[in-house]
Amino acid sequence: MTEKTVLNATHRALGARMVDFGGWDMPINYGSQIEEHHAVRRDAGMFDVSHMTVVDLHGARTREFLRRLLANNIDKLKVHGKALYSCMLNERGGVIDDLIVYYLGEEFFRLVVNAATRAKDLAWIERQAQAFDVQVKERPDFAMIAVQGPQARAKVLGLLHDVDRPRIEKLGKFVAAAAQGPHGMPLFVARTGYTGEDGFEIMLPAEHAVALWEALLAAGVKPAGLGARDTLRLEAGMNLYGQDMDEDVSPWEANLGWTVSLDEGRDFIGRAVLEQQKAAGVARVMIGVVLDEKGVLRHGQKVLTANGDGEILSGSFAPTLDKAIAFARVPAGDTGALRVDIRGREVAVRQVKYPFVRDGKPCDGI
Amino acid sequence: MSEIPGDLKFLKSHEWARVEDDGLVRVGISDHAQGQLGDLVYVELPEIGAAVKAGTGTAVVESVKAASDIYSPVSGEIVEVNELLNDKPETINEDAFGDGWIFLVRPSDRAELDELLDANDYQELIENEDH
């Protein structure tokens, strides 16, 4: 049973190649994934991300609940509309999912979680919420369109109601606000994304999604598929759940330590294990690698190091760099020169600091 | 989708074979296959002089999405490879049945050609695949 977003027929009319993605029939590209990638780096592209799961949390003790549920500290959110990226951990310190949480009121927070993990996330959140009397409400009535690229904000702003435009133009990074779109449609506009470019992620009632998509198309925003979304986020150094971390990987092993807040006295789920791991040191670390010769790094390939074997996590050809890049999980410590087994051939790869691409340009040393 | 040239024969795995005037067999992948794979970024060509066996992996094409083995439709010896693909793998996306050919085989058993699908059979195969 495959689910469809409200934009499904629109994608097909645009000639999209559709694939199954976590149970959803989604566009992988509309012709050329590489051209779509470049459109986002150089101008503006849009993605249908309506398959992602929006969950609203209501209740007087919602903030207290999120202090317990999330590894990042919800108390960093002090301003209405502000967003926070966090992991949701199990008792073993493994990552159940990564998510964004928005502060919409002292008794109202909104989560956006991954599509492929929807069922287990909802079950976990509902179970943990009971003790706090927090109401967990999925919002399948929302569609979501991500508009990304150096020209993305300008193109969205041009479609907003005059009274909202100056306020949305001033919206800071990782902040969201309500605004009116074409024909007065109500939008929830967040200055967030998954491409390494500036832009907005826009949530709106599903019945208006086709009209917004058409208006963006008319404004010159290029439709981009999930294929381009994957290469864009990898170049930008962003993790993908299921490939770069899962329930058997802790944030320390997935380069997500920056999202863990070991603030005094906050008893979040998984904390005890994370503290033990931090004190003892973890056995595996996540690094960035570049392949300077021809070939493509892929998920699951073996990485050979002086310290033992590792594996390629997310790996792909990187259109902005014209070569292959990857995340790899390798044994901690001095790994020496790194090689990757590509179909029985051992090729040298170079360890680099990532992101690989920032603001449309390759980073130094890549 | 471009028209399938009538002089081509096909493997079910989407490789095409064209018998040239000199009896050599030119091999590539179909336009349908390149569309399924998406943008190609790397082609691993066989060595000239290598012996190949019908139905076994002879080259590899990699798209952004995935790596795929390319089977030789006939047994024989590789006599030429399309060096253009080293710098411009996207030629396969642009002209799968023409400039995007991959390798040329001197066949050792021409009877193997009779085992291949003709253009009509192949057309039917991909139409069924799409449903």
Both tokens assigned to A364? 């130094």
pLDDT above 80 for B130: no
Both tokens assigned to A231? 């290469």
Confidence of residue A196 (pLDDT cuts 50, 70, 90): very high
pLDDT digits (tens, 9 = 90+) for A151-180: 999 999 999 999 999 999 999 999 999 999
Q: Nearest residue on chain A to B85, judged by CA atoms?
A: A294
Question: Which of A29, A296, A345 has the most B C-beta neighbours within 10 Å, making it the best mutation to test the interface with B?
Answer: A296
Of A196, A215, A234, the position where a domain reaches its end is: A234
- Mean pLDDT over residues A267-272, rounded? 98
Q: Is residue B121 part of a domain?
A: no
Task: State whether A36 and A145 are in the same domain.
Answer: yes
Q: Is residue A53 part of a domain?
A: no
The mean pLDDT value of chain A amounts to: 97
Residues A351/A353/A354/A358 CA torsion (nearest 10 deg): -120
Determine the Cα–Cα distance for residues A125 and A114; give it in Å rounded to an integer. 13
Residue A216: which residues within 8 A CB-CB, separation 6 or more? Answer: A46, A145, A147, A155, A156, A159
CATH code of the domain covering residue A177: 3.30.1360.120
Q: Is residue A248 part of a domain?
A: no
Confidence of residue B131 (pLDDT cuts 50, 70, 90): low
C-alpha distance from residue A139 to each of A47, A142, A147, A281 (Å): 19, 6, 21, 40
Residue B48: which residues within 8 A CB-CB, separation 6 or more? Answer: B78, B79, B80, B81
pLDDT digits (tens, 9 = 90+) for B59-74: 999 999 889 999 999 9
Confidence of residue B98 (pLDDT cuts 50, 70, 90): very high
Residue A339: which residues within 8 A CB-CB, separation 6 or more? Answer: A303, A304, A346, A347, A348, A349
Question: Phi/psi of residue A359, each to 5°?
Answer: 50, 40
Question: Which of A294, A297, A320, A321 has the most B C-beta neighbours within 10 Å, making it the best mutation to test the interface with B?
Answer: A294
Question: Phi/psi of residue A66, each to 5°?
Answer: -70, -25
C-alpha distance from residue A267 to each of A192, A272, B96 (Å): 28, 8, 59
Return the SS3 of A270: coil
Both tokens assigned to A220? 């010159």
Q: Is residue A255 part of a domain?
A: no
Task: State whether A171 and A26 are in the same domain.
Answer: yes
Residues B97/B99/B105/B110 CA torsion (nearest 10 deg): 30
Q: Is residue B91 part of a domain?
A: yes
Chain A nearest-CA distance from B109, in A, is: 29
Task: State whether A27 and A154 are in the same domain.
Answer: yes
Of A199, A234, A269, the position where a domain reaches its end is: A234
CATH code of the domain covering residue A306: 2.40.30.110
Percent of chain A with pLDDT over 90: 98
pLDDT digits (tens, 9 = 90+) for B5-63: 999 999 999 999 999 999 999 999 999 999 999 999 999 999 999 999 999 999 999 99
pLDDT above 90 for B115: yes
| Residue whose entry in the numeric block shows the structure tokens 């791991």 | A277
Is A296's CB within 8 Å of B65's CB?
A: no
Q: Which domain holds residue B41?
A: 9-110
Question: Which of B32, B64, B91 has the most A C-beta neighbours within 10 Å, making it the best mutation to test the interface with A?
Answer: B64
More confident residue, B131 or A141: A141
Is B41's CB within 8 Å of A231's CB?
A: no
Size of interface A-B (CB pairs under 8 A): 39
Task: State whether A204 and A332 are in the same domain.
Answer: no
Q: Is residue B46 part of a domain?
A: yes
How many domains, chain A?
A: 2
Is A275 labelled as part of a ligand binding site? no
Nearest to B38 among A33, A298, A343 (CB): A33
- Mean pLDDT over residues B79-87, rounded? 97
A340: which strand partners? A303, A347
Chain A nearest-CA distance from B60, in A, is: 10
Is B67's CB within 8 Å of A33's CB?
A: no
Q: Is residue B53 part of a domain?
A: yes
Is B42's CB within 8 Å of A317's CB?
A: yes
Instruction: Please report which residue ranges of B1-118 form alpha helices under DSSP H.
Output: 31-37, 84-87, 91-94
- Cβ(A39)–Cβ(A222) under 8 Å? yes
B104: which strand partners? B26, B80
Nearest to A298 among B35, B36, B67 (CB): B67
The pLDDT value given to residue B65: 86
Q: Which domain holds residue A294?
A: 283-366
Determine the Cα–Cα distance for residues A52 and A98; give it in Å rounded to an integer. 12
Q: Is residue A327 part of a domain?
A: yes
Using DSSP bridges, classify how beta strands A135-138 and A83-89 pair: parallel, antiparallel or unpaired: unpaired
Q: Nearest residue on chain A to B94, judged by CA atoms?
A: A32
- Mean pLDDT over residues A47-66, rounded? 98
ipTM above 0.90, yes or no: no
pLDDT above 90 for B128: no
Q: Is residue B122 part of a domain?
A: no
- Mean pLDDT over residues A90-102, rounded? 98
Task: State whether A147 and A230 are in the same domain.
Answer: yes
Q: Is residue A353 part of a domain?
A: yes
pLDDT above 70 for B1: no
- The residue among A234, A237, A164, A251 whose CA lies nearest residue A200 is A164
A17 neighbourhood in chain B, CB within 8 Å:
35-36, 38
Q: Is residue A311 part of a domain?
A: yes
Q: Nearest residue on chain B to A19, judged by CA atoms?
A: B36
Task: State whether A308 and A365 are in the same domain.
Answer: yes
Q: Is residue B127 part of a domain?
A: no
Nearest to A33 among B39, B60, B86 (CB): B39
Determine the Cα–Cα distance for residues B68 and A211; give it in Å rounded to an integer. 39
Return the SS3 of B92: helix
Task: State whether A156 and A214 are in the same domain.
Answer: yes
pLDDT digits (tens, 9 = 90+) for A4-42: 999 999 999 999 999 999 899 999 999 999 999 999 999
CATH code of the domain covering residue B25: 2.40.50.100
pLDDT above 70 for A336: yes
How many domains, chain B?
A: 1
| Residue whose entry in the numeric block shows the structure tokens 């198309």 | A217
Q: Is residue A277 part of a domain?
A: no
- In this structure, which amino acid lies at residue A228? A
- The residue among B83, B100, B16, B22 whose CA lies nearest residue B47 is B83
Chain A nearest-CA distance from B63, in A, is: 8
Q: Is residue A95 part of a domain?
A: no
Q: Is residue B86 part of a domain?
A: yes
- Mean pLDDT over residues B87-114, rounded? 97
Using DSSP bridges, classify how beta strands A308-318 and A302-305 pair: parallel, antiparallel or unpaired: antiparallel
Nearest to A227 among B36, B38, B42 (CB): B38
Task: State whether A166 and A30 are in the same domain.
Answer: yes
The alpha-carbon radius of gyration of chain A (Å, integer) is 21
Q: Is residue B52 part of a domain?
A: yes
